[in-house]
Structure 1
Amino acid sequence: MKRIKLHDRCFRLMIEADVIDREIERVGTQINRELAGERPLFLGVLNGAFMFVADLLKHITIEGTEISFVKIASYAGLSSTGKVQDLIGLREDITGRTVVILEDMIDSGESIMHMKKMLEEKHPKQVKVAALFYKPKALKYDLTIDYKCIALENDFVVGHGLDYDGLGRNYPDLYVVDEGTNEN
């Protein structure tokens, strides 16, 4: 079994990259079908969503598609801080536009709820949410995730854009923390 070590933690392979890629392609096909003619603005949430954004946009064929990024943070170490911070803001005029938030991971839903509120104040036509990974059991809000790739249990994972204190984003596979092999 493939394992990696990041800082003081060991992680074991959970989902291989080809499985992730197939799910991203499936969601891209769904978005193309549902948003045809919308001229959507895809809004990637940095840092984690960079791989998801790049992988998904390879499959988007909608004419007039644009991409932008915002950076927010709510994690420290292995857990959410519960506080969302805007770090880099939206510069585009989204009045009357369809906006699709591209998020690497939705767990509590705090970050997405914060972003949706911020975006709705700018009068878009509609705001959709796409998640590479999501944790249904961790959701604390009644949140619609319009485009879902892969559901996970409430475990800490790294890879495919997700990190543990800055490390692990570069791995194409997804790894889960392996509690039995971590250093104390």
Structure 2
Amino acid sequence: MAGTKTRGVGRVFFSAAQIQRRVRQLAKEISKDNEGRHLVLVGVLRGVFCFMADLMRYLTVPADVDFMSISYYGVGGSKAVRVTKDLDLDLEGRHVLLVEDIVDTGMTLSFVLGYLKERKPASLTVCTLLDKRVRRLAEVPLPYVGFEIPDEFLVGYGLDYQEEYRNLPFIALLSEEKPDTEQDAEQSA
């Protein structure tokens, strides 16, 4: 892994081979369930891009792709969600598969599902690579789940810590020795 930063990465949860095997299985299930349909895959940037690209390659049904981006902002003592990059495609009457990297509390997913339902798709289903069910606050439908995970901070395969580690081909625990200064980062290079 020349050029891949691994300092600060702990135990590997899912190897690259395990991930690819599971993504192929998910794509097979999704393709079977959507035979005869033309899907629109919608990803919420940024963490989903590795998973979504691999999933799309393994699908055997036609699929268009679009992305949206959201951000959080404080309102009083709570956080609210806002769309910062909207979709380019019209979803009305289309079969939409919302692809997520990780579902944690379910609050963000609940917002996105409501937002997409306003676009009047013919169908709307969700596929997530990782499900952190133990932290769930909002019940959300998850017909396609790659892996259920414990309440740990994971990085790799699109998942980041301060924009780092997305490029790792595996998913691992972020260790306690993560670099938090430029000097630490330079020493690990």
Provide the TM-score with structure 1 as the length reference. Answer: 0.86
Q: Distance in 2 between matches of 1:15 and 1:74?
A: 29
Structure 1 gap segments, 5+ residues each: 76-80
Letter in 2 for 1:118: Y
Structure 1's 90 and 183: CA in aligned 2 closer, same or farther, altered over 3 A? closer
Number of equivalences: 172
Aligned to 2:95: 98
Tell me how large the CA RMSD over aligned residues is: 2.0
Q: Distance in 1 between matches of 2:164 and 2:126?
A: 26
Aligned to 1:73: 71
Structure 2 gap segments, 5+ residues each: 181-189
Q: Is this contact kept in 2: 1:43–1:102, CA < 8 A?
A: yes
How far apart are residue 74 of structure 1 and its match? Answer: 4.8
Map 1:18-167 to 2 at 5 A: 18-63=17-62, 65-74=63-72, 82-167=79-164
Q: Is this contact kept in 1: 2:9–2:172, CA < 8 A?
A: no
For residues 11-51 of structure 1, what are the alpha-carbon distances to aligned partners after superposition, in whole Å with 9 as ceiling and x for unaligned? Answer: 33222110011110000000000011121100011110000
Aligned to 2:183: none
Letter in 2 for 1:47: R
Structure label with greater radius of gyration:
2
Aligned to 1:78: none
Structure 1's 66 and 18: CA in aligned 2 closer, same or farther, altered over 3 A? same
Q: Distance in 2 between matches of 1:183 and 1:71?
A: 27
Letter in 1 for 2:65: I
Q: Is this contact kept in 1: 2:42–2:67, CA < 8 A?
A: yes
Q: Is this contact kept in 1: 2:102–2:128, CA < 8 A?
A: yes
Structure 1's 177 and 94: CA in aligned 2 closer, same or farther, altered over 3 A? same
How far apart are residue 183 of structure 1 and its match? Answer: 7.0
Q: Distance in 1 between matches of 2:110 and 2:86?
A: 16
How far apart are residue 69 of structure 1 and its match? Answer: 0.8
Q: Distance in 1 between matches of 2:125 and 2:55?
A: 15
Provide the TM-score with structure 2 as the length reference. Answer: 0.84
Structure 1's 173 and 143: CA in aligned 2 closer, same or farther, altered over 3 A? same
Matching of residue 168 in structure 1 with residue 165 in structure 2? yes
How far apart are residue 156 of structure 1 and its match? Answer: 0.4
